[in-house]
Structure 1
Amino acid sequence: MDKSKVYYTNFRTTFRENLPQKLKRLITTAGMMEQIDFHNKYSAVKIHFGELGNLSYLRPNYAKVVIDLIKEQGGKPFLTDCNTLYVGSRKNALDHLDTAYENGFSPFSTGCHVLIADGLKGTDESLVPVNGEYIKEAKIGRAIMDADIFISLTHFKGHESTGFGGALKNIGMGCGSRAGKMEMHNSGKPHVFEEACIGCHACEKNCAHGAISFQEKIATINHDLCVGCGRCIGVCPVDAVETNFDESNDILNYKIAEYTQAVIKDRPNFHISLVMDVSPYCDCHSENDIPIIPDVGMFASFDPVALDMACANAVNQQPVMAGSILEKHGSHHHDHFKDTHPNTNWQSSIEHAVKIGLGNEEYELITV
């Protein structure tokens, strides 16, 4: 297999070219507009809007560059993400939109609308056949699957479970509906935190499989009947239904790769990653610690696997940021992600993605 092309530019600017202009040149040189016909096509641009309180997510200015390029080609772009499985500021579409707007992602700042792909309660999904080793039918936010073209715009950072959060994580986990996220994160089923349950029966009314009953006004879930759809999590008014997040990290990475394949197969796709503000944790955290390395640059490719590999290699070539968690932990493995989160193995996602034919870990880095 020929090496995949990954295009790169640093964050240095001149009086003639600022960062948005530089990102535009990177995307143009990489061939996004040349190789994809955007005319009259719905184009999903997948991005993470950032949990409220987190300030390391990508600025909306970068999203506007991508949106403007698509619109110049006659496309119909929208920014999108799916609701979270955990309780936070993006657990339903209304809170999610409020968070996106507060963090600067409005039609006025980006030039397009924001659509929460899996609907109000995270249950609006498309079932996509995968027939993978771990996933047989991926559950993807419907608006994402309804789009003609898929573009990912990723903030590349560390992650406490997968090692790093790159293009595969942004696509695979990010595009999963609530049931899809549960399938990736858990080896079991949700349970009820009894101390918080108020006995309102909302979960029971919304369970299509008769898995929920009440004993002394407290809900219980029969795991033999439960299918893990996550609807009970979405409808609980007091967040009393919880999930375990107990899947092993390697299998989590395998499932993310298979979900990514479900999202991008059989339609035009392109991927952009910005390696900046490389926080040790995901942007799903309401806090963000100081970066573990200095800012590196912008990367783009038609191959999300090669893109993640190039970004990971670039990060591991950087010095450790003074005062960071990484400096505190020490650099013992020549792998900044492994040293930051010793129980993770980011290589597993790359290896499985290559195994299922999602992309190529061998790449040619082209400096723009």
Structure 2
Amino acid sequence: MVKSKVYFTNFHATFQENLPQKLKRLIKTAGMLDQIDFQNKYTAIKIHFGELGNLSFLRPNYAKAVVDLVKSQGGKPFLTDCNTLYVGSRKNALDHLDTAYENGFSPFSTGCHVLIADGLKGTDESLVPIDGEYIKEAKIGRAVMDADIFISLTHFKGHESTGFGGALKNIGMGCGSRAGKMEMHNSGKPHVTEETCIGCHACEKNCAHSAISFQNKKAGIDHNLCVGCGRCIGVCPVDAVETDFDESNDILNCKIAEYTKAVLGDRPHFHISLVMDVSPYCDCHSENDIPIIPDVGMFASFDPVALDMACADAVNRQPVMAGSVLEKHGSHHHDHFKDTHPNTNWKSSVEHAVKIGLGNGEYELITL
């Protein structure tokens, strides 16, 4: 198999070229503008807007660089993400938009609009047949699937469940609706916390399988009837419907790879990852710790699997940042992600992605 091309440049800037300009040059050199016809095409740019309180997410200036290039080719770009499964500042579209704007992602700063792909309550989804080993029908935010072209702009960092959060994580988990995220994270079905339930019956009204009933004005879910669609999670006004994050990390990674394949499908796609502020945890946290390694640079490729491999290899070549969580844990496996989160295995995602034909684990690194 021919190695996939991954393009790289560091974060050094000059008086003649700043970092957003350098990112544009990287993208152009990688061939995005030459190989994709953007004219009058809706272009989804998938990015993580950062949980409120977290400051390691990508600056909106980088998003604007991508938006500018798409618009220069006559494209119709929009920034997008889906609502979160957990309770936080991005669990519904209104809170999510407020968070995006507070963190600097507005039409004025980025040059395009922000669309929350799975709608107000995280229930606006497209069902995408995938027939994978773990997923048969992926639940993807509708606006993502309505787009003609898909671009991922990823902050590459550590992750407590998947080892690292790279392109596959940004696409697969990030584009899943709330029900889709439940399917990836959960090996079972949701349950109701009775102490929180207010007996409003919203969940019952939205259950198509009569799995929800009430006793003493508290909801309960019959798992024999529940199909795990997750709509009750989205419609509950007090977050009384919960799901256990109990799927094994390896299977979680495999499900993420299959969701990524569902998202990308047969349409044009391109992927960018910035290895900077490599925090030990996901940007979904409402805080961030100091980076585990120094900043590395910017990577771009048409192959998201090769891109993740190139970024992971680059991280593992870096020295450990003094005072970081990684230094406290110690280096035992010659793998910064494994050492930061010993119960994770990031390679399971890449290996499964290669197995299902999503991309190539072998790459040729081309440095600008």
Same fold (TM over 0.5): yes
Q: Secondary structure at the match of 1:326?
A: helix
Q: Which residues of 2 match residues 117-266 of structure 1 at below 5 A?
A: 117-266=117-266
Taking the aligned partners of 1:284 and 1:39, their CA distance within structure 2 comes to 34
Please tell me the residue identity of whatever aligns with 2:132: G
Moved beyond 2 Å, runs of 4+: none
Would the aligned equivalents of 1:165 and 1:282 in 2 still touch at CA under 8 Å?
yes
Taking the aligned partners of 1:166 and 1:359, their CA distance within structure 2 comes to 14
Structure 1 unaligned regions, length at least 5:
none
How many percent identity over aligned positions? 89
Please tell me the residue identity of whatever aligns with 1:284: C
* Deviates further, 205-214 or 87-96: 205-214
Taking the aligned partners of 1:182 and 1:225, their CA distance within structure 2 comes to 17
Structure 2 unaligned regions, length at least 5:
none
1:54 aligns with 2:45: no
**Cα offset for 1:210?**
1.0
**Cα offset for 1:238?**
1.6
Q: Secondary structure at the match of 1:259?
A: helix
Taking the aligned partners of 2:230 and 2:305, their CA distance within structure 1 comes to 29
**Cα offset for 1:239?**
1.2
Matched length: 368
**Cα offset for 1:209?**
1.4
Would the aligned equivalents of 1:178 and 1:229 in 2 still touch at CA under 8 Å?
no
Taking the aligned partners of 1:232 and 1:308, their CA distance within structure 2 comes to 34
Taking the aligned partners of 1:200 and 1:130, their CA distance within structure 2 comes to 36
Taking the aligned partners of 1:51 and 1:44, their CA distance within structure 2 comes to 20
**Cα offset for 1:260?**
0.4
> What is the TM-score when the length of structure 1 is the normalising length?
0.99
Would the aligned equivalents of 1:8 and 1:365 in 2 still touch at CA under 8 Å?
yes
Taking the aligned partners of 1:92 and 1:238, their CA distance within structure 2 comes to 12
Taking the aligned partners of 2:130 and 2:230, their CA distance within structure 1 comes to 20
**Cα offset for 1:232?**
1.4
**Cα offset for 1:233?**
1.4
Q: Which residues of 2 match residues 1-368 of structure 1 at below 5 A?
A: 1-368=1-368
**Cα offset for 1:202?**
1.7
**Cα offset for 1:198?**
1.6
Taking the aligned partners of 1:217 and 1:138, their CA distance within structure 2 comes to 34
**Cα offset for 1:240?**
1.1
Please tell me the residue identity of whatever aligns with 1:4: S
Please tell me the residue identity of whatever aligns with 1:327: E
Would the aligned equivalents of 1:80 and 1:114 in 2 still touch at CA under 8 Å?
yes
Would the aligned equivalents of 1:141 and 1:177 in 2 still touch at CA under 8 Å?
yes
Q: Secondary structure at the match of 1:77?
A: strand
Please give the per-residue CA displacement for 1:48-105, whole angstroms capped at 9, x wherever unaligned.
Answer: 0000110000000000000000000000000000011111111111111111111100
